[in-house]
């Protein structure tokens, strides 16, 4: 088991200081690059609660906020350890109510067992807690902002996104990735499903129709401008889906076994498995993305 001793913290302001992003990464020398997780603060509403390894840093951040920025409540977007690590600390030490979707609540109450590479990146000793159920709409402290809560499963079954229609902000956490090259497979506790991800991105695209100044805030992967970000991901997944199923037909014509078929498609699509695929022993890999695309029938909802 690895554990990082040194942590890195950054604070970033967006939209005329109305949104404060707190980014956290371990700076363990064992990691090939920093992996960031983000907590956003908008008018007293905290979106997510960081990783178990960052609880001490999150505590310092909350303590240092002035009265204008004091946290009134927290919403957890999903159950992964890099989003809910500080939930119990917020409740117990600051008396901050923490909300989550009905699907996430029982998961947040459980101990978490996750592979050593994720312990290295996000730290250990997750503290389970009892979250409160989230309504369909959530208002911020002053009433200035009002968020629609949208179910966006795929990355995680309980994943939600928060959309502020008037200001055209979408907090999408991990619901959409900047590029689809890898996926967590079914042999881990993160069974990402590409067909559900695709449907959720389409749902976000439909929901944000007419928002020509849309800003999309991801967790640690940056801020993206415009609905074209969503449309590009829709096109990207659709094209990969079609390509993979064409390669399957080719492989079947060559009478390849299942193992050979996967290797054939992997080579044609990505040349070889990625470094991260090897590092995570296939947990987060090109291969799992290919399997999820193959399990999604071509004639079903890819238009
Ligand atoms: Zn996640």
Out of 76-90, 96-110, 271-285, least confident range: 271-285
Q: Give the residue from 119, 136, 153 where a domain finishes.
A: 136
**What's the 155 CA to ligand 1 centre distance in angstroms?**
6
110-141 confidence digits (pLDDT tens): 999 999 889 989 999 999 999 999 999 999 99
Rg of the Cα trace of the chain?
Answer: 20
For residue range 163-216, list pLDDT tens digits in order: 999 999 999 999 999 999 999 986 678 989 999 999 999 999 999 999 999 999
Tens of pLDDT, residue by residue over 215-253, are 999 998 999 999 999 999 999 999 999 999 999 999 999
On whether residue 59 sits in a domain, the answer given is yes
What is the distance in A from the centroid of ligand 1 to the CA of 158? 10
Q: How far apart are CA 277 and CA 182, in angstroms?
A: 8
User: Looking at the domain assignment, is residue 166 inside a domain?
Assistant: no
Q: How far is the CA of 241 from the centre of ligand 1 (A)?
A: 22
Domain around 117: 1-136
- Out of 136, 156, 191, a domain closes at 136
Rounded to the nearest angstrom, the distance between the alpha carbon of 257 and the centre of ligand 1 is 33
- Residue 285 sits at φ, ψ, to 5 deg, of -150, 160
Report pTM: 0.94
pLDDT given at position 106:
98
Last residue of one domain, picked from the residues 110, 136, 162: 136
How far apart are the CA of 253 and the centre of ligand 1, in A?
38
Starting at the edge strand found earlier in the chain, the sheet holding 73-75 runs 7-14, 19-26, 37-42, 45-47, 73-75, 98-100, 132-133
Domain count, the chain: 2
Let me know if residue 184 belongs to a domain: no
CA 196 to ligand 1 center in whole angstroms: 14
């Amino acid at each position: 088991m690895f554990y990082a001793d040194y942590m890195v913290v950054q604070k970033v302001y967006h939209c005329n200081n109305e949104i404060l992003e707190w980014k956290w990464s371990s700076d363990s020398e064992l990691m090939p690059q920093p992996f960031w997780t983000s907590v956003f603060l908008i008018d007293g509403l905290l979106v997510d609660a960081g990783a178990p390894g960052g609880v001490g840093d999150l505590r310092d951040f909350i303590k240092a906020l002035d009265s204008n920025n004091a946290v009134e409540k927290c919403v957890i977007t999903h159950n992964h350890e890099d989003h809910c690590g500080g939930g119990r600390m917020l409740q117990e030490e600051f008396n901050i109510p923490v909300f989550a979707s009905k699907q996430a609540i029982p998961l947040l109450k459980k101990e978490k067992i996750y592979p050593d590479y994720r312990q290295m990146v996000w730290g250990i000793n997750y503290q389970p807690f009892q979250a409160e159920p989230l309504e369909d709409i959530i208002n911020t402290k002053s009433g200035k902002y009002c968020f629609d809560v949208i179910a966006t499963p795929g990355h995680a079954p309980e994943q939600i996104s928060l959309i502020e229609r008037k200001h055209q902000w979408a907090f999408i956490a991990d619901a959409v990735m900047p590029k689809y090259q890898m996926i967590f497979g079914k042999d881990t506790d993160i069974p990402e499903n590409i067909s559900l991800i695709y449907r959720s991105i389409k749902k976000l695209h439909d929901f944000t129709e007419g928002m020509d100044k849309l800003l999309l805030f991801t967790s640690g992967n940056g801020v993206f401008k415009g609905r074209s970000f969503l449309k590009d991901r829709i096109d990207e997944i659709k094209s990969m889906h079609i390509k993979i199923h064409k390669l399957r037909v080719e492989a079947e014509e060559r009478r390849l076994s299942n193992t050979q078929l996967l290797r054939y498609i992997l080579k044609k699509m990505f040349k070889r498995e990625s470094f991260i695929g090897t590092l995570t022993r296939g947990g987060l890999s090109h291969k799992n993305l290919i399997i999820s695309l193959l399990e999604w029938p071509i004639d079903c909802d890819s238009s």
